[in-house]
Amino acid sequence: MSKLKRRSLTLVTLFVVLMMVISGCGSQSGSTKTPDTPPTANPVSESPGTPQHGGSLTVAYVADVTNFDPIKGTTGNDHALLWPLYDTLVKFTPDMKPKPGLAESWEFPDNTTILLHLREGVKFSDGSPFNAEAVKFNIDRVNSTDSQISDLKNIQSVEVVDDKTVKLQLSQPDSSIILALSDRGGMMVSPTAVKTHGADYSLHPVGAGPFIVTNHIPNGEIGYEANRDYWQKGLPYLDKLTVKVIPDANSQINALKTGQVDFLPNVQPQMVATLKADANIVLSPTNTLALNMIYLRTDAPPFNDKAARLAVLYGINRQQLIDAINFGQGTVAVQPFPKDYWAHDDSINIPYDPEKSKQLLKDAGLSNVSFTLTTYPIEWWTRLANGIKGQLEEVGINVTIKTLEPNAAVQSFLGDKETNALTGNWSGRPDPQMTIASLYGKDSYYNPGKATTPELESLIKEAAATTDQNQRAELYKKTVNTSVVENAFSIPTFSQPMTAAMNKKVQGFEPNLLGKAIFSSLWVEQK
């Protein structure tokens, strides 16, 4: 593959203050409830010293990027592989508060208008300027029919006010927009590169981030090197970054222990104990917004029948899966927000009730119910799929397991719609509205069956227009009751701590509530 190459933050109205609160500044009392970090035997040093420049680092990663074009990617695994290349308009703190990115500040003249004030002196790595025209190009592209992203659909128009100012006009108030600009929708690609390469842009990606891509072997390796013209002086620290795609957990651990790789963003739970005993390895565990889900095709048998979906919902023994698959590490999940997160509601409960599952099928006249569950050819995932299979067969639902490489599995379910169930992770989103709209919005890419109800659509719209965090939490409670408890459009199963592991020479890692590694802050101690 060819070389892939003003103010201070001002909130001028009460709406702005409220927007900051709902974006993660507070729990119901006004401060974010950040989950406690699980203890570890050999934690990251709290005083890593002064960052050093130079050197290289190799990362083991579970899957390849689905697409180097941000608007075309399909999985949450992509973010860590795209951030080195693409800076976003807005960035986030570890506890998911918005902070300046390529947009140096923003303001809200009213509740449907956002003014973005752009950072000066920024260029894409191909030398073309980052300016208001580039932002308009990108956001219009995000909202085009070529895009998989729905997070910015409430942006009705984008106006270039001047070279460093962009006006976003919303079709309705949307409390998620600022943090949505820290996600794929805010990743800025070079308009020049897109116009030059057209349909082949993903083979020649260009951003304004700290690295450029130098080589890509699909499902094998991605090579990055430092962008020497990066706008943030002093970054990146590394000269080179290499990502090796290693799906198998045992192979990841062996590569880390033998020095073939230096950093592993997410250790499978069954592997944590063996790393705790290794004095050369540092562990960094944290709770995140990610959780495991069973995704269902609601427009095809058997899940076009609500009774079949509810039978699965009550037929899953979540704690048993945690004990068997995760060695007891994790928390039962019956909603898309983890415990202790402000959008979580403790009153929502879905008990394991196999007798209820059987009765639901009987009352609906359903017999010989069967479906194919797609998963990945990775030991942890196949064990999980087999655990689900065994539990559901006890209530009279036959499950056939189909394994596909991760990106192919997602494409088969979401893109090609060839399979009717998928077990996978929901990686979380910077703002809870993005999660709700992505999982349950009728036009979302992640809702392939377009499952919805009039009440659900009304709740999603109302939550987007609400700025008070307490009111938002109440609306999300109603949304989860409608989408999960009453209709089982998808099946949450459990959440689990995410543990990063690294060689002792690796410094600068900062975990975040989103649970996605940011490589640009990493540096290595030089001997």
Is the pTM above the cut of 0.85? no
Per DSSP bridges, beta strands 263-264 and 397-403 are: unpaired
What is the pLDDT, as a whole number, of residue 179? 96
Q: Do 392 and 312 meet the contact criterion of CB atoms below 8 Å apart?
A: yes
For position 10, what pLDDT does the model report?
37
Q: Which letter does DSSP use for residue 88 in this model?
A: B
pLDDT digits (tens, 9 = 90+) for 130-172: 999 999 999 999 999 999 999 999 999 999 999 999 999 999 9
**DSSP letters for 409-431:** HHIIIIIS---SEEEEEE---SS
- Helices 306-315/379-393 angle, 10° precision: 110
Look at residue 1 in the predicted model and tell me its pLDDT.
46
Q: How many Cβ atoms are within 10 Å of 7's Cβ, its own excluded?
A: 9
Tens of pLDDT along 337-353?
A: 998 899 999 999 999 99
Q: What pLDDT score does 9 carry? A: 39
Pick out the chain residues at pLDDT < 50. Answer: 1-47
Which two structure tokens, joined as six digits, stand for 434?
């993005």
Q: What is the largest CA-CA distance in the chain?
A: 70
Please name every residue paired with 511 in a beta bridge, in sequence order, or none if there are none: none
The pLDDT, as a whole number, for residue 271 is 87
Query: How high is the pLDDT of residue 48?
Result: 55
φ and ψ at residue 100, rounded to 5 degrees:
-60, 145
Q: How many CB atoms lie within 10 A of CB 3?
A: 10
Classify residue 441 as exposed, middle or buried by CB count within 10 Å of its CB (0-12, 13-18, 19+). Answer: buried
Secondary structure of 217-238 as H, E, C letters = ECCCEEEEEECCCCCCCCCCCC
CA distance 326 to 292: 12
